[in-house]
């Protein structure tokens, strides 16, 4: 690559947060350096979290997916936008608050299960919150109900604003497309929890017990991964193994702290920085 940068900066990072699709794998295909990267993190005692805007899957779904690729992670090492939305509710909502969910079962489990079991109540009549994520079984009646509830005063929370969702068939409508429908029909802007907005990054720092300057965000998407972290003062690595090419990067106003072709190049540079 022709991009000039100071690889020695890598030595200062004690924690890592990272996107998955486009960084660790593409679809169900592991990217080069995947196993070596997790070996490197553990060998150097670098705690990490995997961040995903996808609320349609659970943390355990990603644990199983990575296990098929030969990588062992704990459920607690993944944070979904559904979990981040659930964390927001715990910080803002009184016990017993009613919530109406537009989304898949993992989002419902995040809101009503685990630590939230018995804390929030499913409510399709007069909820305090409408929480919306991706819904691959969406029907008009659900959107209609959510619209009416938001218009009646329920606070509207969206797990993420990604307009499309990547599948093996191609790009399909994502949570942001459903959100656009609801924002148009209600005249209300959603409070977005996932990347590139602050709540998900703040949750990751809280879980790791780290501060922004010592934590590295690794991603392949300039908007959701890099710009979102930049806004909070979190140093960033862009990998050119996903949605962003070198040409895209050179034309973009959004810049990462460091840029690498993929995981093998990042590992080599990080190891060298630690040995200096």
Which residues are identified as catalytic? 19, 21
What tokens does 8 get?
Answer: 């020695």
Q: How deeply is 200 buried, as exposed, middle or buried, from its count of CB atoms within 10 A (0-12, 13-18, 19+)?
A: buried
Dihedral of alpha carbons 199, 29, 63, 57, sign: positive
A 10 A CB-CB count for 5 gives 14
Measured between alpha carbons, how far is 276 from 260 in angstroms, rounded to an integer? 19
What distance separates the 2 farthest-apart alpha carbons in the chain?
Answer: 62
Name which of 119, 114, 185, 117 is nearest 156 in CA terms. 185
Q: What is the DSSP letter of 172?
A: E
- Please tell me the distance from the alpha carbon of residue 273 to that of residue 276, in angstroms, as a whole number: 5
Whether 160 contacts 173, CB under 8 Å: no
User: How crowded is the C-beta side of 215, counted as CA atoms within 13 Å?
Assistant: 24
Rg, Å, the chain Cα set: 19
- The enclosing H or E element of 84 equals helix 81-92
């Amino acid at each position: 690559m022709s991009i000039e940068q100071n690889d020695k900066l890598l030595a200062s990072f004690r924690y890592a947060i990272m996107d998955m699709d486009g960084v660790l794998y593409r679809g169900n295909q592991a990217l080069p350096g995947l196993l070596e990267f997790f070996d490197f993190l553990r060998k150097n005692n670098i705690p990490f979290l995997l961040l995903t805007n996808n609320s349609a899957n659970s943390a355990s779904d990603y644990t199983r997916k990575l296990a098929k690729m030969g990588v062992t992670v704990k459920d607690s090492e993944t944070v979904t936008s559904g979990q981040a939305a659930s964390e927001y509710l715990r910080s803002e909502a009184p016990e017993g608050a009613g919530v109406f969910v537009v989304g898949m079962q993992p989002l419902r489990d995040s809101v009503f299960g685990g630590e939230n079991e018995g804390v929030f109540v499913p409510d399709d009549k007069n909820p305090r919150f409408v929480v919306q994520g991706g819904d691959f079984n969406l029907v008009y009646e659900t959107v209609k109900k959510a619209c009416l509830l938001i218009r009646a005063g329920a606070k509207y929370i969206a797990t993420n604003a990604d307009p499309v969702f990547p599948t093996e068939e191609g790009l399909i409508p994502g949570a942001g497309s459903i959100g656009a429908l609801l924002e148009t029909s209600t005249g209300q802007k959603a409070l977005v929890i996932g990347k590139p907005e602050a709540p998900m990054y703040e949750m990751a720092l809280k879980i790791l017990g780290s501060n922004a300057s010592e934590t590295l965000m690794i991603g392949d998407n300039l908007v959701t991964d890099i710009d979102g972290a930049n806004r909070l003062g979190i140093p960033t690595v862009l990998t050119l193994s996903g949605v962003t090419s070198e040409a895209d990067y050179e034309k973009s106003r959004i810049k990462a702290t460091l840029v690498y072709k993929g995981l093998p190049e990042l590992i080599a540079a990080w190891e060298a920085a630690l040995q200096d």
